[in-house]
Structure 1
Amino acid sequence: MTRSLSTNNTLPAAFVSMPKETDKIKVASKDFSDVTLACPLANMRLAVKDLFHIDGLSTAAGNPTWAKTHPTPDTTNSSVSALIQAGARYVGKTLTDELAYSLNGQNIHYPALYNPVTPDRIVGGSSSGSAAAVSSDIADIGLGTDTGGSIRVPASYNGLFGLRTTHGVIPKDNMVPLAPSFDTVGWMCKSIELLEEVGKVLLPKSKMLASDSQANEIRIFVASNLIAASEQSREIQNWLTTLSKVAITKGEFDVIAMDTSNTFRILQGFEIWQQHGQWISANSPKFADDVEQRFKWCKSLSLTQQEMAKSQQQTIKHYVDEIFEQHDLILLPTTPGLAPLIGQEPSEMASYREELMALTAIAGLSGRPQIHLPLFKIDDAPCGLSLIGKLGEDLKLVQLAKQLIHTSKLAPKERHIQ
């Protein structure tokens, strides 16, 4: 039986449902309210993207037709269960862009969601509600997914730490997929310390930073051309000069020549239609215009296009693998710059999306973990940088990032454009 959840208009816009005080929802035989201080995440408020199944709660995946045409889950996603078992306190299911197929954080089926940090700019998606919930201090942990940037982008726009995990390192059971071979579980927090604590619950602990590794140099490949083209170029370059115990190699990552954006979009789009095409054709759900156009484009993709993109993916993976033979991290901008202003023309947003995905596709195509560090502000709007790590070394990536932040002599800076 579906449990009663508050779904009225008094909900914060970040949420699609929140538990009533009387709700007793069981996860892995543990009540949501059954938290002890001995648990590593004791009383940390957990917001869960509305793609993850929770026993007895409807999953809408950002589209009402999806909820109407799918049964209420009777099982709970293992990551949600693990976080609850570790002491986190569930505070609600959060808004997602439709079927998670957008990076904007806008959904025509729900009240408008504004960026809590800069309300005149988009919040970013598709883990939009989880980001807004953490940014506005309604939650401490925002659990989400990342296929083409859905953790990294809203983390950047909302000034949060965000981790996209290595492909396949965290189970994707009991959740709505977008493109399964690219889908990953991720999360956002205001502090890197909490981001790490969540990782210790969800990630394998076999590849952590050794206790004596602080004496070792961190070898960083800096994608200089991508940084130079970003709005936060000055901030990133200044921050690099403050680091200690690092060996920096400045190089080029030619995302245009490698066609990272188009390669990823074709592979993702082909897989999306294989996953959802039959349901879309059978139910004719209402989508926002831009989302609908993307689904139509997915339908048009041919097997030949997919095979060519697969070949290019191998070229990109080989290049990334070669970098990691000599380096521990790749440093690059998470996004081209600040979150776009609300109300930009669809053509402008489409062009920006392609530029954005050229950056986010690097980790996606190579299957690697990536962490966003919210180190800067420009005109009160958050921005930062990303570190891509080695395959399966997600916790080590977070710990290396924390080490870099702590050894930097430069506190986060804010710049105002005159």
Structure 2
Amino acid sequence: MIEDDPFRCFVPYPPAPVKHASSGPLAGLTLAVKDLFDIKGYPTGAGSPTVLAQSGVKTRTAPVVKALLDAGARFVGKTHTDELAFSLNGKNAHFGSPVNPAAPERITGGSSSGSMAAVAGRLADIALGSDTGGSVRAPASYGGLFGIRPSHGRLSLKRTWPLAESFDTAGFFARDGETFARVANVLFGKDRTTLPERPRLLLADDLFAQAVPEAERILRNAVQRFVPLLGQPENVRAVRDMDALYWAFRWLQGREAWTADGPMIERFAPPLGPGVAERFAFGRSVSDAEVARGDTVRRNFRAKLAKLLGQDGVLLLPTVPDIAPLVSAGESELDDFRNRALRLLCLAGLSGFPQISIPVAYRDDAPLGLSVIGPRGSDKSLVVFAVRIERAARIRLA
């Protein structure tokens, strides 16, 4: 277990033995796990004092965690999460906030804040997180890591604290491509859709325009660095109505979050932190008509993106609009950035397609990620291609 935790990544639970295989494809790697996943011998707090008080010590381990342990990874601790996983900022009003090792004056992002910080700070080789609205992808961009939101339903969420059932996924972080691919090989098995060695690259001009101008310029330059090795992308428009997608996601996620946690909130009236309280209040207010409209928008977008990608296409886009906001930013500034980020992050959630944030660039000495979205079920081959992008961009930069 980790005793020295300079980045405040880990929940200070009393250590309990967690068995792992002595050999296997992940042998020699250390594993951190977001405190949404059950691990035998530990409680599951979900970033909430109320949930923690009711948890008790778990007697079984979540299947996705067990798969990593059975492959040889050694568990080193459970990591902090934003309260009930309903935030993108990495701040928890009850348990404090991890430090971003890659840019200490900037937020980690959330809600997989501790998992990102543990890997970026070299306290773990790999970390398990969850991604509903961007909770792996945004922190990965902010911390200079590989991070994946898999195809919806690709990895088991059994014995995992829920937020929004039709959006929740289990994802993971790694610092380097080789390690990232090792984890993917363990968790994903055979793809339903296998990308070709040189996929058809699609650069989403409308989505790049969602980034701040300097971040857009830097990321477009990063794309040009790997063009000689991987090919010139086709410029496309990926979204017809960004506001419609944003609100569809907000309505559907809000309704499902209230369904998951509303009964507990109404019964115990826990003191929810800034932003979290407002988001649950919004979720409670979502009407049946808004849910129906959101479902229609989701179905139409999923069909359009499936047609655009086909079986061989990969969409290139910024992970988030810019580098991580400053820790000193106020709640209104953070909320504004979150809403802008959701316009990019909601696409994979609404479609259910896999997305990977790739560490390719810096701005003002802070990391900035480029993302790829592939066809549903292409997770393993998308990882292989994402690793090739990072290597090609790095070689050209050198």
TM above 0.5, one fold? yes
Contact 1:218–1:247 under 8 Å retained in 2: no
Bigger mean CA deviation after superposition, 149-158 or 238-247: 238-247
Change (3 A) 1:160 1:254: same
- Report what 1:162 is aligned to: 147
User: Is 1:53 paired with 2:38?
Assistant: yes
* Deviations 1:274-318, CA, capped at 9 Å, x for gaps: 111111100111211211111111111111111111111112112
Amino acid at match of 2:12: S
Give the match's secondary structure for 1:15.
Answer: coil
Change (3 A) 1:47 1:390: same
1:35 aligned residue (16, 19, 22): 22
- Report what 1:17 is aligned to: 12
CA distance in 2, matches of 1:290, 1:111: 15
Change (3 A) 1:337 1:412: farther
CA distance in 1, matches of 2:282, 2:160: 24
Change (3 A) 1:254 1:392: closer
Identity of aligned residues (%): 38
CA distance in 1, matches of 2:132, 2:314: 21
- Report what 2:359 is aligned to: 374
- Report what 2:308 is aligned to: 323
2:288 aligned residue (297, 303, 311): 303
Largest Rg, 1 or 2? 1
TM-score, normalization by structure 1 = 0.89
CA distance in 1, matches of 2:138, 2:78: 20
- Report what 1:143 is aligned to: 128
Q: CA RMSD in A?
A: 2.2
Structure 1 residue 19, shift from structure 2 partner: 6.2
* Deviations 1:239-297, CA, capped at 9 Å, x for gaps: 32231342521012346545222111110000111111111100111211211111111
2:199 aligned residue (218, 224, 234): 218
**Structure 2 matches for 1:4-403, cutoff 5 A?**
13-17=8-12, 20=15, 23-25=16-18, 31-32=19-20, 34-36=21-23, 39-207=24-192, 214=197, 217-231=198-212, 232-242=215-225, 243=227, 244-254=229-239, 256-257=241-242, 259-325=244-310, 327-403=312-388
Structure 1 residue 326, shift from structure 2 partner: 7.3
Structure 1 residue 209, shift from structure 2 partner: 5.7
The list of structure 1 runs, each at least 4 consecutive aligned residues, that deviate by more than 6 angstroms after superposition, is 8-11
Contact 1:261–1:355 under 8 Å retained in 2: no
Give the match's secondary structure for 1:144.
Answer: strand
Bigger mean CA deviation after superposition, 70-79 or 178-187: 70-79
Bigger mean CA deviation after superposition, 366-375 or 296-305: 296-305
Change (3 A) 1:371 1:9: closer
Aligned residue pair count: 394
Give the match's secondary structure for 1:46.
Answer: strand
Give the match's secondary structure for 1:382.
Answer: strand
Change (3 A) 1:229 1:359: closer
Unaligned ranges ≥5, structure 2: none
Bigger mean CA deviation after superposition, 243-252 or 305-314: 243-252
Unaligned ranges ≥5, structure 1: 26-30, 414-418
TM-score, normalization by structure 2 = 0.93
Amino acid at match of 2:207: L
Change (3 A) 1:164 1:127: same
Structure 1 residue 49, shift from structure 2 partner: 0.1
Q: Larger RCO: Structure 1 or Structure 2 (Cα < 8 Å, ≥ 6 residues apart)?
A: 2
Amino acid at match of 2:122: D
Give the match's secondary structure for 2:368.
Answer: strand
* Deviations 1:337-392, CA, capped at 9 Å, x for gaps: 11011222322222211110010000000000000011001111000210001111
